[in-house]
Amino acid sequence: MDKRIFLLLDYRNQFYFSTRHRGASVDVEKLKKYFKNNGYELIVKHFFEIDFRSDNYKGEWILYQSSEDPGLFYKDYIEDVLMTLHFQGARLIPDFRYFRAHHNKVYMELLRDVLPISEIKNIQSKGFGTYEEYTRGNILRSSDPYVLKPGSGTRSSGVKLLATSEDKKKYPHNLSRTLTFDNLKLLISKLITGKPFTPISTNRRKFIVQNFIVGLEGDFRILTYGEKYYAVFRGNRDNDFRASGSGKLNFEAELPEGLLNYAKAVYTQFNVPFMSLDIGYKNGVFYLFEFQCLCLGQYTLEKSKFYYKQINDEWKRVLETPDLEREIVTTVLSHIENK
């Protein structure tokens, strides 16, 4: 067997996650079996075991994961390893840019701007590194509502609607606050010396502001694995505009006409093995609010009793018991063969 794929585990000996129980991992032994049945050897390593002094991974396929640890400290370490693998010429699954976009909404929106995918351009965002930069823009002077999002976070944590002029001042200021003891020392030094200087901002936590689509009752989470599309409607929270984290999930919801065609058009242009898409719909128009290409929330797949597949240009429901490991292997191998 001369075909191989490297699988990188985290410090908990886990790869991605499953909904089987709290903290559950993908079954690595099951992955090995499925890959072996398809003629591939799965070589399992931990991130810390990658030794660039003795090994060269140029041309090797690397199936990896990200991390959602508080503060993203471990994710920062993973990035060092992956960036070096990328520099050495390893073939990362998915591409490094999609790792960078995970838990990084500023970079996600910059990718949206530069990717040549017209279907995702009707959500327009602006990222800021400080509150001072934000105040120099046009948002404070606009009467339009906006959505504020922190640079990282899940389940709509920190997401606010900027509906009034007061909202547009208060919420970004609070979200970006980074007041530390070093800031205080600099201010005290300025008072003592009397010398003019531009102080370091005390609001340096990055964030984005994007256009708000009024009147939505929720959105659709679409999980794509090759030809299989899993869908769930997520209703908004009570008296709120946010759907993520609401717990109001409907797997039997009627899908708007064209939704799956839209999801397929976006997914195929990203050229990744699997993907999650959060899609809004209003008056015949679809909006891609967010996307992820790794560390997907697997609930939509594992709790589904069926998936959607396009057969002879028509979308059909196909009844099937979900198997996360099977779908990972199938789509990864298809991705490799298409490369």
* pLDDT band at residue 74 under the 50/70/90 scheme: very high
Asked if 276 contacts 222 with a C-beta cutoff of 8 angstroms, the reply is: yes
> Tell me, what's the pLDDT at 35?
97
Res. 1: pLDDT tops 50 = no
Asked if 129 contacts 212 with a C-beta cutoff of 8 angstroms, the reply is: no
Q: By C-alpha distance, which of 101, 132, 103, 91 is closest to 3?
A: 91
pLDDT tens-place string over residues 208-256: 999 999 999 999 999 999 999 999 999 998 888 888 877 889 999 999 9
> Tell me, what's the pLDDT at 226?
95
Asked if 218 contacts 248 with a C-beta cutoff of 8 angstroms, the reply is: yes
Domains in the chain (CATH in brackets) are 4-93 (no CATH), 125-211 (3.30.1490), 214-338 (3.30.470.20)
Phi-psi region of 150 (alpha: psi -120 to 50; beta: other; left: phi over 0): beta
* Residues making up the chain, counted from first to last: 339
> How deeply is 92 buried, as exposed, middle or buried, from its count of CB atoms within 10 A (0-12, 13-18, 19+)?
buried
Asked if 209 contacts 147 with a C-beta cutoff of 8 angstroms, the reply is: yes
E strand residue ranges, 109-145? 125-128
pLDDT tens-place string over residues 277-288: 999 999 999 999
Q: What percent of the chain has pLDDT over 70?
A: 94
> Tell me, what's the pLDDT at 18?
72
Res. 114: pLDDT tops 60 = yes
